[in-house]
Structure 1
Amino acid sequence: MADKYIIRVTAGSGYDVGEHVVVPVNTAEPVRISSALADVELNVRVQNYRGLPRNSPASSPYFDQEPHEYNGDQYSIAFRFTPKKPAKAVADGDSGEKDDDEEEEAEGISATDLQFGNDFDHPIRDRLPPGFGTAMNIVRWWIDPGLEGDAYADEPYLYGPALSSFNAVHWGAGEVDAAKGGLWFGEGGSESGLAARRDTGAPDDAKARMKWALKPDSKRRWVWRYGDTYALDFFNPYVDFNEFALRLPGFHLPIIRYWDGQSLRSQPKRSHQLRYVLRNRSTGAVYLAVLFTLYLKEDVNEDGSLKPAALQNKGGHEKKEGGVDDDDEEGNGHDEDFDEEKALAEARRKLSGVDLDAGPETNEDDVD
């Protein structure tokens, strides 16, 4: 089924795809995205990329560098992020004076509020693949204990605090190095940025910082300051955009069957989407949205532009005549060949004693 589709990556400062720019995957020059809330410079890298624009590089020198070669990383969403102080009118009768807490908050975005993750604008609860709950426990244990979400909501989401979700957090601009695939930086910061993050108590090591960032006190101490630039990188070896598959310890889920909550075993949809979002938890403001969209190859012109059929169907949840979804007639989209018990046993073996059924071990000092 995967060979029927071609992928395109776009990005913007909001959800409106009409205002997105096409991201040239695996090229070194960052894409610049600006809004009233933030300035962003973005690189997206994907191993074995065969998508749009046409003739895009199949890989990036980024994947030849450590730790990515050792990890076997399959993709990266890396960007510079400079938040801007929002314009806020002083209310009539308000002196404009702020107490100490308001002044501290006005310096930037709290670590509790800045989130990164995935969301959808329509329900997917009836189309979740077999083993989804166990897979989520593995993700929380193995990848990001700070993840929170509701896959069964009308507008499903899975967000984590940016401070604990990103694999690399660099307080500073980092550098652009074509020999290393574009934006390049490690955990830490510039001289002033490193001093600033140490003042918060954040460890210099990435894994230690991710664990430290789960504590409420840590998130209170870290503020993403307006006007400062941060270099952030999200990468892992678990999503294969070549085969459109999710590979976790003990699990191999073919995303193509469930992409955007849809089973594709009957009539293929014209497009399917996976969205990564940097947002504000308190205000709902979006700073960056990166959209991975699959289009039927027949809906893409030779020059890489989209035909009207692709533009008319942007991946929303659709039903066939009579109100029956594409896969309702085939067991709610569940793969009859999927052996959840076998997958769970393999996950337990690889995770060496982790209690997957209990969910992530947290307490009041660990997460919100």
Structure 2
Amino acid sequence: MASAIKAKLTGGSAANDADLQEERDKYRLLVTAGPSYDEKTHKTVKVNSEIPTTIENEFLTAKINVRVKGFRGLPNTSPSTSKDYFDDPMHAKDQYSLGFSFVPKQDIPSVDTVWGNDFDHSIKDKIPPGFNTAFKIVKEFIDPGLSCDAYADQPWLYGPSLSCWFALRIGEKVNEGEDFPTPGVMTEGADGTGKDLRERLGLPENNEKRRKYFLDAKHRQPVFFEKGRCYQGDFYNPYLDFGNFSLKLPGFTLKVIKYVGDKTHCLRYVFKNRETGDMYFNVNFKLLWGEELQKALTADQKEQASSERDSGIGFQDQASDGATDGASNGVAASPSTSGEPQAVPTNDTNDESTRHTAPPTMQLHPGDHNAAAAVASAGSSTSDPDVDEIDRLLQQTSTSQKRSGLFLDEID
């Protein structure tokens, strides 16, 4: 009897996995970066490549590197991972990284610069069950500096840039027209004259203390990004699994693909000034579907064929290489997919992106939790009408699935 029940459960799970796989195969991820919201100014980012995407506007010049574990997207010659990055012990659990270097063309006050996500349209009817609980977890255990208004006509989720970035390096001055470092696997710190600058500003030496320090606006007020100096940052975490289109929070995994529907969606990251609206750079993670995916596949094939003609490399050779290839520096004071276009469903396309006071805790590295699931479930009960899907999932999480970690309130 027990074996029969087990077989039935296993069979059901396998069927669900097959359904999710079929649903997932309808989509491809495309990452673009640009100096503004206008997608006409954007360039395609070669995910998991060590070759950065360079963008420029009136405020700065920036280099962008995006790394995604288990990447399934365009260009279809992109490696499925970045071994140099994800094999590093510090990033073994991370699912993606958005790394960048930039050199300002003018002094940029840091106090109102933010990092986060926003949208140019309402998403009220698309907010999934469990959003409020998920945001509570993120704010309390991951980044207490975050603020959010998901119900606005133009929703947003921002945090102070200097407290959001998990790594920050202050570097050397760069003469106009000179090259500057590409964002690699970086650690908190400084290079050259950036070391003296960091000392003069009294910045904490490690990332968790620096992030906690800059939660306070009075610490950001006298700090600006200095004209002509190189800065490097890295934003990474294990929560968004772009390879499987999943959200991974303490103790459970939510298959986001079940909720997105047959549409194109866009998650955009921005580095901007919240008060003036000045945009420094914008990186879009676009989940393509339908007619938009069809066009992107065709364009990608043409681009690949053009590159092969220019380089004299045969199509089959480059396709094979693409399928198997795996793929610091200042703050101053004052699926692989088939190359053939695929027949896909078509439909209209739509893009997808309560303020709260900041709790006192923030973790050293995203993904290491100290009973986050237990805290979330303890605050709810089965009789509470506000208990949502994520609350129930948290309550069902076994203690063996929960991870412990170091929080900023434990740091001297």
TM class by smaller structure: 0.7 to 0.9
Q: Could you tell me whether the CA contact under 8 Å between 2:101 and 2:181 is conserved in 1?
A: no
Point out where structure 2 has 5 or more consecutive residues left out of the alignment.
1-22, 173-179, 303-340, 353-387
The Cα shift of 1:257 comes to 3.9
Indicate the residue corresponding to 2:188 in structure 1. 187
**Worse-matched range after superposition: 232-241 or 59-68:** 59-68
Supply the distance in 1 between the matched residues of 2:38 and 2:347 (Cα, whole angstroms).
14
Indicate the residue corresponding to 2:350 in structure 1. 315
Q: Does 1:45 align with 2:67?
A: yes
Q: Could you tell me whether the CA contact under 8 Å between 2:104 and 2:227 is conserved in 1?
A: yes
Indicate the residue corresponding to 1:198 in structure 2. 199
Supply the distance in 2 between the matched residues of 1:170 and 1:279 (Cα, whole angstroms).
19
Point out where structure 1 has 5 or more consecutive residues left out of the alignment.
86-107, 177-181, 318-336, 353-360, 362-368
* Corresponding letter in the other structure for 1:110: P
Supply the distance in 2 between the matched residues of 1:201 and 1:310 (Cα, whole angstroms).
56
Q: Could you tell me whether the CA contact under 8 Å between 2:252 and 2:393 is conserved in 1?
A: no
The Cα shift of 1:344 comes to 5.1
Q: Could you tell me whether the CA contact under 8 Å between 1:200 and 1:218 is conserved in 2?
A: no
Indicate the residue corresponding to 2:48 in structure 1. 26
Supply the distance in 1 between the matched residues of 2:37 and 2:47 (Cα, whole angstroms).
20
Change (3 A) 1:312 1:14: farther
* Sequence identity (%): 40
Change (3 A) 1:74 1:293: same
Q: Does 1:67 align with 2:94?
A: no
Indicate the residue corresponding to 2:125 in structure 1. 126
Q: TM-score, normalised by structure 2?
A: 0.66
Q: Could you tell me whether the CA contact under 8 Å between 1:175 and 1:185 is conserved in 2?
A: no
Matches within 5 A, 1:146-295: 146-172=145-171, 175-176=181-182, 183-258=184-259, 263-264=260-261, 268-269=262-263, 271-295=264-288
The Cα shift of 1:59 comes to 0.6
Change (3 A) 1:125 1:250: farther
* Corresponding letter in the other structure for 1:204: E
Q: Could you tell me whether the CA contact under 8 Å between 1:78 and 1:232 is conserved in 2?
A: yes
Q: Could you tell me whether the CA contact under 8 Å between 1:244 and 1:255 is conserved in 2?
A: yes
SS at match of 1:304: helix
Q: TM-score, normalised by structure 1?
A: 0.74
The Cα shift of 1:347 comes to 9.8
* Corresponding letter in the other structure for 2:104: P
Indicate the residue corresponding to 1:340 in structure 2. 391
* Corresponding letter in the other structure for 2:51: E
* Corresponding letter in the other structure for 1:9: V
Say which structure is richer in helix: 2
SS at match of 1:183: coil
Supply the distance in 2 between the matched residues of 1:310 and 1:32 (Cα, whole angstroms).
34
- 1:201-253, CA deviations, whole angstroms, 9 ceiling, x for partnerless residues? 21010111111111222112322122211001000111100111110103422
Indicate the residue corresponding to 1:80 in structure 2. 101
Supply the distance in 1 between the matched residues of 2:55 and 2:73 (Cα, whole angstroms).
21
* RMSD, matched Cα: 3.0
The Cα shift of 1:57 comes to 0.5
Supply the distance in 2 between the matched residues of 1:305 and 1:288 (Cα, whole angstroms).
28
- 1:40-65, CA deviations, whole angstroms, 9 ceiling, x for partnerless residues? 01100000112100121011121111
Indicate the residue corresponding to 1:334 in structure 2. none
Supply the distance in 1 between the matched residues of 2:113 and 2:345 (Cα, whole angstroms).
33
Supply the distance in 2 between the matched residues of 1:298 and 1:163 (Cα, whole angstroms).
39
- Tell me the matched-pair count: 299
The Cα shift of 1:302 comes to 4.8
* Corresponding letter in the other structure for 1:253: L
SS at match of 1:230: strand
- 1:128-171, CA deviations, whole angstroms, 9 ceiling, x for partnerless residues? 11111111011112221111120010000001111000000001
Q: Could you tell me whether the CA contact under 8 Å between 1:175 and 1:184 is conserved in 2?
A: no
* Corresponding letter in the other structure for 1:23: V
Supply the distance in 2 between the matched residues of 1:299 and 1:158 (Cα, whole angstroms).
31
The Cα shift of 1:25 comes to 0.5
Supply the distance in 1 between the matched residues of 2:58 and 2:222 (Cα, whole angstroms).
25
SS at match of 1:79: strand
The Cα shift of 1:282 comes to 1.8
SS at match of 1:4: coil
The Cα shift of 1:185 comes to 2.4
The Cα shift of 1:315 comes to 2.7
- 1:317-366, CA deviations, whole angstroms, 9 ceiling, x for partnerless residues? 8xxxxxxxxxxxxxxxxxxx9463342564999488xxxxxxxx9xxxxx
Supply the distance in 2 between the matched residues of 1:13 and 1:312 (Cα, whole angstroms).
29
Q: Does 1:111 align with 2:107?
A: no
- 1:249-275, CA deviations, whole angstroms, 9 ceiling, x for partnerless residues? 0342222244xxxx41xxx12x21110
Change (3 A) 1:147 1:19: same
The Cα shift of 1:186 comes to 1.3
Supply the distance in 2 between the matched residues of 1:274 and 1:216 (Cα, whole angstroms).
27
* Corresponding letter in the other structure for 1:77: L
* Corresponding letter in the other structure for 2:287: L
Indicate the residue corresponding to 2:297 in structure 1. 301
Q: Could you tell me whether the CA contact under 8 Å between 2:104 and 2:225 is conserved in 1?
A: yes
Supply the distance in 2 between the matched residues of 1:217 and 1:64 (Cα, whole angstroms).
38
Q: Could you tell me whether the CA contact under 8 Å between 1:123 and 1:155 is conserved in 2?
A: yes
Supply the distance in 1 between the matched residues of 2:73 and 2:108 (Cα, whole angstroms).
35
